[in-house]
Structure 1
Amino acid sequence: MMKSVCILVFCFWVTAGQYARAQSAHFTTSGTIEFDKNVNMYALINKRINKDNESFMQTAFEAYKKSNPQMKVLKSTLTFADNKTLFTPKAEEEMSNSFFGDEPMATQNNIVYTDLNTDKKISQKKVFEQTFLVTESPRKINWKITDETRDIAGYTCRRANAIIMDSVYVVAFYTNEITVSGGPESFSGLPGMILGVALPHDNVSWFATKVIDSTLPPSAVAPPKKGKPVDDKGFMTTLKAAFKDWGNYAQYFSKVFSL
């Protein structure tokens, strides 16, 4: 009899402890996330060198390495509230060697607003001298969630993998402690906030450095207004026409501006 009582008391104690922990758990629904975009410039530039441009490009590459670090770091913020997100790049300093300043993967061309309540995304995309305002649904990504975890900005994040745009391999890390299913740029669709994204074959990543849990007014998460209004199909048609004579670079530039 005494043994049964002890078992019941123990089970009650465990259940009560779990309930207390669940009650005390805090889930973030509003705030600001600071991101670093890390670009391996040496790897990107090296990929652009071929037998047709080697004599010139190799010299320019060596000059670039003398005055620029291997990794270029770009800053951005992601504000979120009411199940909406706004990704905004911060102004950047120009590279010491401007010859590679037009490398699109090494810049931040997009302001991205996502309303997860209405399944709507509005992106202000700068393509060289033109600016577009692209309205579409958030990209549907077939994520494969794994058991791997890592700490990012103080949050335990789980890894997920995916292929987007037919060939771009994506590794993402998300936390369910932030309940909004958003992320940097156009990456979303996981059961929590994405705090880390890497495109290993494209030499670029976005990782959160700081999460500020705060209550934001509705005006803090508002869509961009500047640019020529187009839908996704119209934007892709424009890119295809613009890069039709760019040879081997056409596919690369179209991919980067479509991220």
Structure 2
Amino acid sequence: MKKHLILLLTCLIGSSAAFAQNAHFTTAGTIEYEKRVNMYGVIKAVINKDNESWYAPAFEQYKKNNPQFKVLKSTLSFSGNRTLYAPLPDDAPPSNSWFSDMPLAQQINTVYTDLNTNLSTTAKKVFDEAFLVKDTARKITWKITDETRDIAGYTCRRANALVMDSIYVVAFYSDEIPVSGGPESFTGLPGMILGLALPHENVTWFATKVTDVPVADAQLKVPAKGKATTYSGLKATLTKAMEGWGEYGKRFFKIYLL
């Protein structure tokens, strides 16, 4: 009996070692993301008793001519602990509605993050002005759960957080890609974020494809164009520019600071 137990333990240890040797972790490559914005939900959220007399008819007109979801695409190139998130051109036919110009319905950020130094550089378009925001990467206090799901062929675990005091975030990360990066400015989990949702903002980012290939330094070019500022500097600029905009301005404000 004792010999059989020793033999079983030896086999288990050998199997574990073989699994560890054969396990593959993606440390460089390109991730393709699809951003989906529930435009009907976004527009509904800005309609109130003060503006419904002209917003409501415009919303009805929008629904006649536009789909509920606006779909945008982006990529995240990564190598080691450096990542570059960049939007791809929108190939959808142009919309005549000004609702389509709302910041959440666009891709306004190109984000380079060095996770070794915890510094990020973001080229950000705010209305018609370009900013270059250099600062520490956003610090997020994540709560990891036991929920899992498969995204783009990777097993991902769910984590929840609150950013900017009021924006609820749901993320799905995979430790099979041992890089603490993610789309936009979302980082800080023990693996790459392949799925991201801001439920109350009506927007999601989910990976559709992961290409496991070496990434050249030229593909991780740090953004360089725009008016140089910091996160707090941009916040101060927006606060002054949107003074008197009320609840409508508050919604724009937090999206521009994401």
Length-normalised TM-score, structure 2: 0.97
Q: Aligned-pair distance for 1:98?
A: 2.5
3-state SS of 1:248 partner? helix
1:84 corresponds to which residue?
82
1:66 corresponds to which residue?
64
> Mind listing any 5+ residue stretches in structure 2 that lack a counterpart?
none
The CA distance in 2 between the partners of 1:43 and 1:241, in whole Å, is: 28
Q: How does 1:189-204 map to 2 (within 5 A)?
A: 189-204=188-203
1:114 corresponds to which residue?
113
The CA distance in 2 between the partners of 1:122 and 1:161, in whole Å, is: 25
The CA distance in 1 between the partners of 2:170 and 2:247, in whole Å, is: 26
2:254 corresponds to which residue?
255
The CA distance in 2 between the partners of 1:29 and 1:82, in whole Å, is: 6
3-state SS of 1:101 partner? helix
The CA distance in 1 between the partners of 2:228 and 2:93, in whole Å, is: 29
Q: Aligned-pair distance for 1:95?
A: 4.2
1:169 corresponds to which residue?
168
The alignment status of 1:39 with 2:37, answered yes or no, reads: yes
Q: Aligned-pair distance for 1:249?
A: 1.8
Aligned pair count reads: 257
Length-normalised TM-score, structure 1: 0.97
The CA distance in 2 between the partners of 1:31 and 1:148, in whole Å, is: 26
The Cα offsets for residues 64-121 of structure 1, whole Å up to 9 and x where unpaired, read as 1112111111100000013100000011135433321221111110000000111110
Q: Aligned-pair distance for 1:16?
A: 0.3
1:90 maps to a residue whose letter is L
2:197 maps to a residue whose letter is A
What root-mean-square deviation, in Å, do the aligned CA atoms of Structure 1 and Structure 2 show? 1.0
| C-alpha contact 1:28 1:213 (8 A) present in aligned 2 | yes
| C-alpha contact 2:46 2:248 (8 A) present in aligned 1 | no
2:59 maps to a residue whose letter is F
Q: Aligned-pair distance for 1:28?
A: 0.4
1:16 corresponds to which residue?
14
2:48 maps to a residue whose letter is N
The Cα offsets for residues 196-243 of structure 1, whole Å up to 9 and x where unpaired, read as 110111111110000000001111112111101111121111111111
1:55 corresponds to which residue?
53
The CA distance in 1 between the partners of 2:188 and 2:194, in whole Å, is: 13
1:56 maps to a residue whose letter is W
The CA distance in 2 between the partners of 1:35 and 1:207, in whole Å, is: 5
The CA distance in 2 between the partners of 1:53 and 1:249, in whole Å, is: 10
2:166 maps to a residue whose letter is S
| C-alpha contact 1:79 1:87 (8 A) present in aligned 2 | yes
The CA distance in 2 between the partners of 1:99 and 1:217, in whole Å, is: 39
3-state SS of 1:235 partner? helix
The alignment status of 1:7 with 2:10, answered yes or no, reads: no
1:125 corresponds to which residue?
124
The Cα offsets for residues 35-89 of structure 1, whole Å up to 9 and x where unpaired, read as 0111100011111222222222111111111121111111000000131000000
The alignment status of 1:208 with 2:207, answered yes or no, reads: yes
1:130 maps to a residue whose letter is E
The Cα offsets for residues 2-54 of structure 1, whole Å up to 9 and x where unpaired, read as x2111111110111011101100000000000001111000111112222222
3-state SS of 1:126 partner? strand
The share of aligned pairs that are identical, in percent, is 57
The CA distance in 2 between the partners of 1:58 and 1:28, in whole Å, is: 48
Please say which of residues 184-193 and 98-107 is displaced more in the overlay.
Answer: 98-107
> Mind listing any 5+ residue stretches in structure 1 that lack a counterpart?
none
| C-alpha contact 1:68 1:95 (8 A) present in aligned 2 | no
| C-alpha contact 1:39 1:205 (8 A) present in aligned 2 | yes
